[in-house]
Chains A and B, each alone.
Chain A
Amino acid sequence: MPSSTSSSDPQIRPVPALPWGRVLVTGILLTVVGLVCWEIYWRSQDFEPSFRNSDGLWAMTRNRIDREGPGGTAVVGSSRLLFDLHLEAWREETGTLPVQLALEGTDPRPFLAHLAQETDFAGLVLVGVAPPLFFTPDIGLRASLLEYYRNESPSQWASQRISMAVEPYIAFYSFDTALFTVLRRQTIWPERDVGSALPVVRKLSNMQITRQSPMWEKLEHDEAYRDMARSTWLEFLNMPRELPPPEVLKAGFENLLASVKTDVDTIRSRGGEVVFVRAPSTGPFREVENGGFPRERMWDVLLEHTGTLGVHFEDHPDLQDVEVPEWSHIRAGDTERWTRALIGHLRRGLDARGTSRVELKP
């Protein structure tokens, strides 16, 4: 009888007879040469090392809320507050660094609900409102992020930190330069009509460790790239959308208002405050937003129903005095001035309502 301890003859795997030392050295050398060439190519395309806009970085940032206590400022929203808010300027103005939780292409309502229901956050919450995302039922691109956050494993936690040790040094270590992302966006492939697929948005910003995400300078300086970004937005804006019947839309909007009010009230009951911010858009974006989501029927109703302060860029010339290269986000150079102006409006607005916040004190 074979023994599991000694007497059996386990199958020993064969090793091909090759000069493996030479294979190892040559293989490593070729790989390194390939990677260096790849890095040089992407740097020549104006890419620079930055942090990856990963679920893990969001989770790290989100953990600041538990670590730093119930006060402070948290930002939920979509790409506009993510790109437009200058976090260092905010810190200089108020003494604290906001927790930047805004997510591109994503409805902030589930994240407001998360702050209200799953934390004891009692500070100031800035909610960015991009009407096509906020007032529609789809959560958007990063819908699965909260699930990731709730179930992040020790391995994912560690991978995030190891990855961040590499990210600041390698330009090609970016979602935008991944091999198959690059392959799929080439124009050589046969055309095929597959209906209304969501257009793929190319790189627009460079993320920093605080999740400050200023617009990529290429959008300012490279006309062709800016035109391409604009054409992507046009594609997005012109997508056919099947709208539900008016009564369903109305009921959906009423439910939306009710759920947002519940979350606002929950945060307020702990001593916190919520404000809504409508950041600038221009060109076709603004036309579609104003046409499809009229301010008086959506934004104004939201503020009235929740009893909150809202800062809308159309009400303030200093919030409009910025360059918006691709119609949706402020150029990096204008974000500092815009952020300081926004803080001023928030202070005055809350003071006028008798709800001044310690988070905004100079």
Chain B
Amino acid sequence: MLFNSMTFVVFFAVVLALHHAPFGSWRIKKIQLLLASYLFYAAWNPPFVLLLWISTIVDWNVAKRIHTAETIGKRRGWMLASVLVNLGILGYFKYGGFLLANWVALMGSAGIEWQAPDWNIILPVGISFYTFQTMAYSLDVYLRRAEPSKSLLDFSLFVTFFPQLVAGPIVRPTDLIPQFAEKPAPRRGRFTWGLSLMVLGMFQKIVIADAALAPAAEKVFEAGGKLFWIDAWLGTLAFSGQIFCDFAGYSTTAVGAAMVLGFSLPNNFRFPYAAIGFSDFWRRWHISLSTWLRDYLYVPLGGNRKGPARTYVNLAVTMLLGGLWHGASWTFVVWGGLHGLYLGVERFIRERVGPTRLSNTLPFQIALAMVTYFLVNLTWVFFRAKEFDTAWRMISSMLTFGAGDRVLPGVEIVLVGFTIFAILFVHGRMREKRLEDVVARTPWWVTAIVVAFMLFATIITQGSNDAFIYFQF
């Protein structure tokens, strides 16, 4: 079920009414939420609820066995069982076709004509998110970071909690499961603030991502020929805004929906286009994934504890796999690889140069932020392009200031220019701030007008019911 759909409006109203109704124990409320979460997921494709059940049952049992296992071998065995089941599900549904296509290509390059079977598997929505979230539970118990949950109901709700089920934030078990233990204490303003966050998230998705920016990005990336450099740049900038507002819009709505229900989810974004450097960028972009990769991949690989060379290798492996997590395509691997390269180069420079008086000046920081944004945009080309031909064509137009087709009419140029300027302005101003603090300092009536404006604009934009981009991951 999409947040930006009529079904969700009715669904959420019913869930909210039942959840806040003055009857029913806390256990009953949790059962309602669990059933609602299954319904939420089944609304795409009912049989795929089975995958949620498999993930739940496997990790519930595995974590218990890891916890009670007496030998390190047994602990490791059970941990591997969890990883294999979760990555097996992910591999079958998400990477099966990709692996098969590459196998056929490999055989072809060796002169062997391999006939691959058809691989028409539907990708269960959000599978990468909930498999990672569930796997984190078993890994936490294995790494002795947490004890297993004592309540199957709470654990099932952790795996399935509908606000963040299909596109994150990827929540850690220690952050969410304890919140289910007891009915949240009432807090003044939580309900309305949660609703306001949902409005902000939907405004980002429906008005900015889908209506203002997506048409320009689509026109440019779907154009067949070589593009005029301005069009190539504007299309890429449009996508940079679209992907941010689409994904951050989902996360903000998820945070708001959870809050209205009485729960706290972590931030997934912190104004990433104001990042100064790439380690800063990854502390601001898709925070729940970058910290997941850090804690469950980079650190177990050795992190920066095994010498400089190994650190660079670990960084590269983490980012390449992070790229592949997004999609079963080599373009995503290149996207991850470029970020790995950027992080590596940044680390190299930092270790040798270190902070100077010049590097701490405002103009230098602004220049670094602009370089970061410029390089991030180059990576978005590979993220958005469906194949390498398109990506190379775009990169070539952008970097050579080449001639070519003009595909963006004046209105799209104005919309992209204005919207991207507004996004960068807001990110720059908010770089060191929290939204909550800014709202707290704002007169209440200004907040009311801004929220009303966003809600009004969202309704009259009407929306195209487009799925969130990250659902496909």
Contact = CB atoms under 8 A, between A and B. Distances in A.
B189 A15 contact: yes
Contacts of A31: 452, 455-456, 459
Identify which of A6, A15, A24, A28 gathers the most chain B CB atoms within 10 Å of its CB: A15
Interface in A151-208: 153-156, 158-159, 162-163, 166, 172-173, 175, 177-180, 183-184, 186, 189-195, 197
A168 to B, nearest CB: 15
Interface in B1-50: 1-2, 5-10, 42-46
A8 B174 contact: yes
Interface in A119-160: 153-156, 158-159
A192 B413 contact: yes
**Looking at chain B's contact residues, is the secondary structure mostly helix, strand, loop, or mixed?**
helix
B147 A173 contact: no
Given A23-B447, A184-B411, A17 B189 contact: yes
Given A5-B154, A13-B264, A19 B455 contact: no
A8 B145 CA distance: 11
Contact of B436 (A4, A16, A173, A189): A16
A179 B212 CA distance: 10
A5 B149 contact: yes
A15 B147 contact: no
A1 B7 contact: no
Interface stretch (B78-86, B354-362, B437-445): B437-445
A186 B188 CA distance: 45
Given A26-B452, A190-B413, A194-B406, A1 B43 contact: no
B444 to A, nearest CB: 5
Nearest to A17: B440
A23 B149 contact: no
B62 to A, nearest CB: 14
A11 B175 contact: yes
A246 interface: no
Given A5-B149, A10-B178, A27-B452, A179 B462 contact: yes
B19 to A, nearest CB: 18
A28 B436 CA distance: 21
A18 interface: yes
B211 A194 contact: no
A323 B436 CA distance: 62
A35 interface: yes
A189 B418 CA distance: 13
Interface in B446-469: 447-449, 451-453, 455-457, 459-462, 465
Nearest to B411: A189
A18 B5 contact: no
Given A11-B175, A180-B461, A163 B411 contact: no
Given A15-B193, A16-B189, A22-B448, A179 B43 contact: no
A153 B43 contact: yes
Contacts of B414: 189-190
A18 B6 contact: no
B455 A18 contact: no
Interface in B175-210: 175-179, 181, 187-193, 195-196, 207
A30 B449 contact: yes
Nearest to B199: A27
Nearest to A197: B409
Contacts, number: 197
B411 A1 contact: no
B6 A38 contact: no
Nearest to B154: A5
A179 to B, nearest CB: 4
**Tier of interface size on chain B:** 35 or more
Contacts of A4: 137, 140-141, 146-149, 155, 173-174, 177-178
A6 B462 contact: no
A27 B448 contact: yes
A189 B409 contact: yes
B436 A2 contact: no
A60 to B, nearest CB: 14
Contacts of A19: 444
B287 interface: no
Given A15-B193, A30-B452, A179 B144 contact: no
Contact of A6 (B45, B181, B457): B181
Contact of B192 (A23, A159, A172, A184): A23
Interface string B419-451: 000000000000000101101101011011101
Nearest to A14: B436
B44 A155 contact: yes
A18 B439 CA distance: 8
Contact of A18 (B178, B444, B456, B459): B444
Given A26-B452, A27-B455, A189-B410, A179 B192 contact: no
Contacts of A179: 207, 211, 457, 460-462
A18 B449 CA distance: 14
A15 B188 contact: yes
Identify which of A1, A23, A162, A177 gathers the most chain B CB atoms within 10 Å of its CB: A23
A231 B315 CA distance: 59
Contacts of B146: 1-4, 8
Nearest to B171: A10
Contacts of A13: 255, 259, 264-265, 436
Nearest to B438: A16
Contacts of B440: 16-18
Given A13-B255, A31-B452, A1 B145 contact: yes
A193 B46 CA distance: 48
Contacts of B310: none
B444 A191 contact: no
A158 B455 CA distance: 23
Interface string A193-236: 11101000000000000000000000000000000000000000
A362 to B, nearest CB: 42
B188 A20 contact: yes
B77 interface: no
A192 B415 CA distance: 14
A173 B7 contact: no
A211 B437 CA distance: 51
Contact of A178 (B147, B434, B462): B462
Contacts of A155: 1-2, 5, 7-8, 43-44
Nearest to B258: A13
A159 B147 contact: no
Identify which of B196, B411, B415, B437 gathers the most chain A CB atoms within 10 Å of its CB: B411
A197 B408 CA distance: 10
Nearest to A182: B460
B405 interface: yes
Contacts of A184: 411
A163 B9 CA distance: 11
Given A2-B147, A153-B43, A156-B7, 15 more contacts: A5-B149, A8-B178, A11-B175, A13-B436, A14-B436, A23-B444, A30-B449, A31-B455, A35-B456, A155-B1, A155-B2, A162-B9, A166-B6, A177-B460, A179-B457
Interface of B: 1-2, 5-10, 42-46, 137, 140-141, 144-151, 154-155, 173-179, 181, 187-193, 195-196, 207, 211-212, 255, 259, 264-266, 405-411, 413-415, 434, 436-437, 439-440, 442, 444-445, 447-449, 451-453, 455-457, 459-462, 465
6 contacts: A3-B178, A4-B173, A16-B436, A19-B444, A179-B457, A180-B212
